[in-house]
Amino acid sequence: MKILAFACIFILSLCLPSYGQLVLSPGQVWDYSFDNLPKTGSVPVFGNNPGGTFQFTVNSSSFQPGDMVRYEMFENSSAEAAICSATMSTAPPFDASCTRDFSWQDRQGVIRFTMESGSITIDSITLKAIVAGPSLSSYDVYSTTFTPVPEPRTMTLAGLGILLGTLWIRQRRNS
């Protein structure tokens, strides 16, 4: 019984990703929606406009010649038309951004990556909304920076279900 449990855990561990960043493969799409950004400060009205900014950094060792990733920014839902869209096809620089005036004023939105060719690793993402606040001389800044993590793969979840089912059946037989 111990050998079977160990073997199942070992096989299951092979299904799990061994990285912390988001790795995009050809044709893969990754969406991220957010409904509230934390307030991080303020900026003067002069020289700044209310709006949203989406920045990301690609791992420099993962970007190869011929890699192409499309990045898009949406106001409320990825079913809407993108308010900002571009394609990263050359590096350096290994970071890119999308900015749109008067977007994300409700501190919610959606971003999407679509890997068109090659494979890259996304190290970090920054989302920022500059919003008019109570002061006439400054805007409030709401932002967050995070390392994107992929969702569990279907095979991982299926393997976990099979493992738990097998252990449950085996335990019932032994009792």
The pLDDT of residue 170 is 77
User: How many domains, the chain?
Assistant: 2
Q: Please state, for a pLDDT cut of 70, what percent of the chain lies above it.
A: 82
Return mean pLDDT, the chain. Answer: 86
Model's pTM, two decimal places? Answer: 0.74
Mind listing the pLDDT tens digit for each residue in 97-117? Answer: 999 999 999 999 999 999 999
Is the model's pLDDT at 19 over the cut of 60?
no
The verdict on 52 and 100 lying in the same domain is yes
How many Å separate Cα 103 from the centre of its chain? 19
Q: Which domain holds residue 163?
A: 1-17+151-175
Place of tokens 């050998």: 3
Nearest-angstrom CA–CA distance, 110 and 35: 9
The verdict on 88 and 56 lying in the same domain is yes
